[in-house]
Amino acid sequence: MNSGVKKESSTSQHQTPPAAVAPQAVVSQLNGFFPPPVSSLAPAALVPPAHHPAAALFFSPHLPPLLPPTHFGSIAPALLHDHLLRPPTPPTSVPSTAPPPSQSPPNDALDTADVAQKIREILSTHNIGQRLFAKHVLGLSQGTVSELLSKPKHWDKLTEKGRESYRKMHAWAASEKNVVELKAISPKKGSSPMMSNYRSEDAATEERIQKILSEAHHAMQAKHSQEKEQWNRSIVSSIYEQELAKLGENGKITNGVNSLSGQQYDAGEFTEQLVQRIYQEQLEKMIAHARKSGNVAQLNMYQAELLKVAQQVHAKGNSPHEDNKENLTDTKDEPTDLSIKKKEETLADSSPAERQSAFSIVRPESCQSNDSSSHNAMSPLQRMQNIANSLMNKGPNQGGTGGRPLKAVLPPITQEQFDKYSHIGTDELVKCVKETLSQFSISQRLFGENILGLSQGSVSDLLARPKPWHMLTQKGREPFIRMQMFLEDTESISKLVASQYRVPPEKLLRGSMGDEPPPPPPPPPPPQSTSSPAESDYRQSSSSVADSELDTLAITSKVKEVLTANNLGQKLFGEAILGLSQGSVSELLSKPKPWSMLSHKGREPFIKMHMWLQDPAKFDRLRLYQSETPAGKNSRKRKHQSAIISSNSNCCDNSASSSDNQKRPRVFFTEQQKETLRNAYASDPYPSQNVIENLANQLNVGQKTIVNWFHNHRMRAKQQQHSVSSPASSVSSSARTAAVDSDDAPSPASTASSSAGALTRPLNDAAQWLFPDFMPVKAEKAEEEEEIDEESSNMNVTVTKSNKRKAAKPKRVYERAEPERNGESWDDEDDVGSTSGLTVVAAC
């Protein structure tokens, strides 16, 4: 299949004559010259109507600026470039920008990492965008090239098609001329890409193409700028007309404009006032919209902007829109934002330094600059465009109800800032940033969109693979400077957390693990009571718990002990204490991950367990819950609570019901099907699409089911390795050991740490999971089975049941003998260790 693709591509590259592609190429290439027309020029409210000339320019089917490369039809972008920049002669004469695949022998292995590194350096050094490189050299998308460059696969693991890309890169990088050529066609250069200094043997053809391109380019540029200007004028005048008409109807000029009545003022001054008023009104509308949609970030931004405008007007002696103050301060209906009031103060009298703070960049651009001249230089209309732009980018309803957070309009980095941050250790910086984000539960998306002005994917990339400072262009350094500013402004962290989560940071249970200075004081928490009393109690005290490392194994052991000793079910415990389902509780208790391997979210149940264990009234809580929950309706109750806890009952109720309705019925694989899947997994835990399709067909299930199975299988294999690792039974057996041990001198109120002390090995180290006391445990387990059967404690009965069941399926004992798992379950407690270990166990 791959070869087929390759063949086709290769063939088309050499068969399509330049003359045939030239006209289309002219247009297509020109498309790349123009900036993203609408997004950068048109705010949401100002998008030209379809019939508008500007729209015709931007959206004309004849001038498809937004067409992806594939819209060149059968002509690949690289091919297009080839034909434009290179004569259709054998590639030996002139180094081509996109070397044909045939240049490298098919089996000529390349060091892909080296090639990728080299390409990255070249692109970086010459400030050539991946998009451009991808399009013209490889004929791939930017994202694909990014992958190729950042995560080069080993040559042996590449398909022929995959190798082709690296061959192209390798060949391309071999000649500096290629680099120069590509650099020359970069739109940033401001010159026509088609004016690159290549020399063609087919001079006439090339000259003709150049001429066409040049003329078309200039013509379109002229048209473009003219229409853009006209378009802007028409929009502004259109708004003016509307406003003037309004004024005429009302017979008066309101607000700011009103103050002008009776005065002698020129048209320019009036215009300014009018624009200002329009701007204010637009802001008010946006405020209303943001408030309606519950988007606090937007609300804050618009309010801040409105306040600023009002202050400016006021400073000029006007008092337009006094009623705006309502919008500026009326946040009592807004349950979310914790920093609105503070922000108002900040905005009202913030110092330049404050305005320069990292967090200030979540405010609109006009609010940011500490350079009043530059701020004033931006017209209200421009500022409105900025805000509208951000609106357009985000779309409505982005509050806490699942929409995307607001993307900030970031101020440019000033020269002073560039000077100040003349060097940044990017590695260290991203490390700090990652820690901060993790510590405060700030998502990459939130951080990227509000602080860096980048998408989550970009943030991920920056944080995962920061370039050395010296390899960064000025533009590339900007996000790092913003990160640095963010870290230096401690207040910004709290504000960001608060604005995003609508909860106090401590509620997130994500404190540092002890090796970091305490975070800046969080903003005042909102008086939300969205959770059950027990929930809030635990939340309050759990923040201190979160600061320490918990011994998950000891905790779960103790919990199991207490539950069984008191005949409390996992279901009740899960619903009343953890807010989890019985199945989840079962998994947590039987296969606890070590603390260090848990995500912040994953730690929360353990923190809750720990708090519960320490709670003298822990049984009262359960009884209370039990009494409040009629038998048979537990599940409903739990759902209801979850809905409440999630602080958005409508959302969750709806989603729950809808997901219930939409959730596909569970598939139950037969043993034969499982065997097939296991075999496939053994061959490749990450099956290709083809394999998935084949399996789906073979097993007569949906592809999604196959994908889910592999996902689950991988996760559970990993979980198995982590928690039970070598031996699945290590944890639960250890847990049993602990339970049994503690049975000797059980203390119902004993804490997790005391349980930990009862264990025979240190537990505050992840190594405990790597070198578990497995074999003795197995032996011990066998003995336990004997002993426990005779015991009557609830706990032991439970354990015995489990062990009995496992013992009834001896084949599972051998499941882990083969790394690829021929056994039934990854999760099975007996799904353990190695063959040798099991042999010993059997001997025992």
Partner DNA sequence: TTCTAGTCAATAGA
Partner DNA sequence: TCTATTGACTAGAA
Residues 701-730 that bind DNA (CB under 7 A): 701-702, 704-705, 707-709, 711-716, 718
Dihedral sign for Cα 468, 474, 476, 482, please. Answer: positive
Question: 309, 274 in Cβ contact below 8 A?
Answer: no
Say whether residue 696 binds DNA (CB under 7 A). Answer: no
Shortest reach from residue 699's CB to DNA, in Å:
11
Shortest reach from residue 840's CB to DNA, in Å:
22
Residue 592-621 contact track with DNA, rule CB under 7 A, x = bound: -x----xx-xx-xx----------------
Instruction: Please pick, from the candidates 250, 666, 744, 819, the single residue that binds DNA as defined by CB under 7 A.
Output: 666
Distance in angstroms (rounded) separating the CA atoms of residues 840 and 777: 11
Shortest reach from residue 556's CB to DNA, in Å:
10
Say whether residue 827 binds DNA (CB under 7 A). Answer: yes
Distance in angstroms (rounded) separating the CA atoms of residues 555 and 614: 11
Shortest reach from residue 664's CB to DNA, in Å:
4
Find the part of the chain contacting DNA (CB under 7 A) among 34-42, 259-267, 659-667, 753-761: 659-667
CA-based nearest residue to 182, from 130, 147, 143? 130
Shortest reach from residue 808's CB to DNA, in Å:
5
Say whether residue 638 binds DNA (CB under 7 A). Answer: yes
Instruction: Please pick, from the candidates 264, 668, 700, 744, the single residue that binds DNA as defined by CB under 7 A.
Output: 668
Distance in angstroms (rounded) separating the CA atoms of residues 637 and 333: 29
3-state secondary structure of 378: coil
Neighbours of 491 (CB within 10 A): 18
Query: How many residues at the interface with DNA, by CB under 7 A?
Result: 81
Distance in angstroms (rounded) separating the CA atoms of residues 717 and 734: 20
Q: What are the structure tokens assigned to 125, written together?
A: 């050094």
Q: What are the structure tokens assigned to 336, written together?
A: 């979310």
Distance in angstroms (rounded) separating the CA atoms of residues 222 and 53: 14
Distance in angstroms (rounded) separating the CA atoms of residues 813 and 816: 7
Find the part of the chain contacting DNA (CB under 7 A) among 22-30, 133-141, 173-181, 562-570: 562-570
Q: What are the structure tokens assigned to 21, written together?
A: 């592609």
Nearer CB in complex with DNA: 225/635: 635
Say whether residue 159 binds DNA (CB under 7 A). Answer: no
Nearer CB in complex with DNA: 182/695: 695
95 Cβ contact list (under 8 Å, min separation 6): 174, 175, 177, 178
Instruction: Please pick, from the candidates 689, 690, 700, 792, the single residue that binds DNA as defined by CB under 7 A.
Output: 689
Instruction: Please pick, from the candidates 1, 204, 315, 631, the single residue that binds DNA as defined by CB under 7 A.
Output: 631
Buried/exposed code over 792-810 (b: 16+ C-beta within 10 A; e: otherwise) = ebebbebbbebbeebeeee
Say whether residue 393 binds DNA (CB under 7 A). Answer: no
Nearer CB in complex with DNA: 51/664: 664
Say whether residue 162 binds DNA (CB under 7 A). Answer: no
CA-based nearest residue to 706, from 723, 721, 691? 691
Distance in angstroms (rounded) separating the CA atoms of residues 661 and 663: 6
Find the part of the chain contacting DNA (CB under 7 A) among 166-174, 306-314, 483-491, 591-599: 591-599
Nearer CB in complex with DNA: 255/705: 705
Question: 361, 410 in Cβ contact below 8 A?
Answer: yes
Shortest reach from residue 522's CB to DNA, in Å:
18
For 337, phi then psi, to 5°, come to: -80, 135
Say whether residue 342 binds DNA (CB under 7 A). Answer: no
The C-alpha angle with vertex 555 and arms to 551 and 557, in degrees rounded to 5, equals 120
Say whether residue 821 binds DNA (CB under 7 A). Answer: no
Shortest reach from residue 350's CB to DNA, in Å:
29
Find the part of the chain contacting DNA (CB under 7 A) among 210-218, 315-323, 519-527, 665-673: 665-673
Find the part of the chain contacting DNA (CB under 7 A) among 210-218, 284-292, 348-356, 570-578: 570-578
Find the part of the chain contacting DNA (CB under 7 A) among 35-43, 479-487, 542-550, 576-584: 576-584
Shortest reach from residue 562's CB to DNA, in Å:
11
Shortest reach from residue 612's CB to DNA, in Å:
15
Site for DNA in 444-483 (CB under 7 A): 444-445, 456-457, 460-461, 463-464
Instruction: Please pick, from the candidates 514, 663, 700, 792, the single residue that binds DNA as defined by CB under 7 A.
Output: 663
Instruction: Please pick, from the candidates 155, 265, 270, 669, the single residue that binds DNA as defined by CB under 7 A.
Output: 669
Residue 730-749 contact track with DNA, rule CB under 7 A, x = bound: --x-----------------
* DSSP code of residue 88: S
Distances (CA, A) of 528 to 403, 600, 644, 650: 21, 22, 11, 16
Residue 541-560 contact track with DNA, rule CB under 7 A, x = bound: --------------------
Say whether residue 136 binds DNA (CB under 7 A). Answer: no
Say whether residue 661 binds DNA (CB under 7 A). Answer: no
Question: 368, 359 in Cβ contact below 8 A?
Answer: no
Query: Angle of helix 2-15 relative to helix 77-85, nearest 10 degrees?
Result: 30
Shortest reach from residue 141's CB to DNA, in Å:
10
**Type of residue numbered 481:** I
Cα(first)–Cα(last) distance of the chain, in Å?
54
Find the part of the chain contacting DNA (CB under 7 A) among 48-56, 59-67, 664-672, 746-754: 664-672
207 Cβ contact list (under 8 Å, min separation 6): none
For 669, phi then psi, to 5°, come to: -80, 145
Distance in angstroms (rounded) separating the CA atoms of residues 453 and 400: 19
Distance in angstroms (rounded) separating the CA atoms of residues 697 and 680: 14
Instruction: Please pick, from the candidates 583, 630, 748, 810, the single residue that binds DNA as defined by CB under 7 A.
Output: 583
